[in-house]
Amino acid sequence: MSRIAVAGATGTAGAKIAARLTAAGHTVVPVSRSAGVDLHTGEGLKEALAGADAVIDAANAFPSDPAADVVGTVAGATRLLLDTARELGVPRFVLVSICNIENPVFDQNLYYVAKREQEKAVAASGLRTTIVKTTQWHEFATNPAAVVLGDTEVTVGDWLVQPVAADAVADVVAALTVAADAPEVVELSGPETIRLPELTRRLLAARGDARPVRTVPAAVPALAEGAQLAPAAARIVGPTIEEWLRARTK
């Protein structure tokens, strides 16, 4: 049984990861502002990480100020976690990241540049680390990064995606965190490709939401052409989109 600090423990993936670890008998220490820990200021962080056997970074510490430095703030949160883990002697660190962010077509995407910086900091940390890179999750169907949920219509960027369920991501992250022999990098994807507006349309229909979905150009044109599909080395994990929708609406 281990003590595991989960950054982003209230988030889409973090909550599922925390639930799995708790069910497996581990003690989860939540790291999020709602738990009194702020990855921008460091408030509460040493107390949260003290005595931990591992830290999972599934946070999304995006700055609330639109004028703020996105790369510095998002990557800075991970660097602060790493520095604190090292200082307190926490040996193990797992980061949740995104497939394909290293593709030069994303050089102007500040969030992806921040994720690259996170990955570099983790790899150089000297801790025993695993980076779990995944394609977009099924839950991305309503993510503000590509979707605007308006009162009368929903607009969705024309991404071609190969989504994976956040539940499947959580299974892998939780298992690898406590594994003795986890690899340094794991890539994960779901089994099917779909255009994001169609995924959103199917999710809204399953929820009985009648708002029409309008496709708008993707912010990065390469996203429409498959720059976010599964890399060749990705592990493919279910459920399918249909199975995921059915499980959500049962």
Ligand X SMILES: NC(=O)c1ccc[n+]([C@@H]2O[C@H](COP(=O)([O-])OP(=O)(O)OC[C@H]3O[C@@H](n4cnc5c(N)ncnc54)[C@H](OP(=O)(O)O)[C@@H]3O)[C@@H](O)[C@H]2O)c1
List residues binding ligand X (CB under 6 A).
8-14, 32-34, 37-40, 58-61, 96-98, 115, 134, 136-137, 140, 143
Closer residue to ligand X (CB): 60 or 240: 60
**Least Å distance between CB 59 and ligand X?**
4
**Least Å distance between CB 45 and ligand X?**
9
Contact 189, 169 (CB under 8 A): no
Sort 212 into a burial class: Cβ within 10 Å, 0-12 / 13-18 / 19+: exposed
Backbone φ, ψ for residue 160 (5° rounding): -100, 120
Closer residue to ligand X (CB): 184 or 212: 184
**Least Å distance between CB 210 and ligand X?**
25
Amino acid making up residue 80: L
Interacting residues of 220 by C-beta distance below 8 A, sequence separation 6+: 105, 106, 108, 109, 227
3-class DSSP string for 69-82: CHHHHHHHHHHHHH
Closer residue to ligand X (CB): 21 or 58: 58
Q: How many CA atoms lie within 13 A of 103 on its CB side?
A: 16
**Least Å distance between CB 152 and ligand X?**
25
CA angle 122, 128, 133 (to 5 degrees): 50
What are the structure tokens assigned to 43, written together? 């408030």
What are the structure tokens assigned to 221, written together? 């044109």
Closer residue to ligand X (CB): 37 or 212: 37
How many Å apart are CA 28 and CA 77, to the nearest integer? Answer: 19
**Least Å distance between CB 37 and ligand X?**
6
Cβ-closest position to ligand X: 11
**Least Å distance between CB 16 and ligand X?**
9
Closer residue to ligand X (CB): 104 or 144: 144
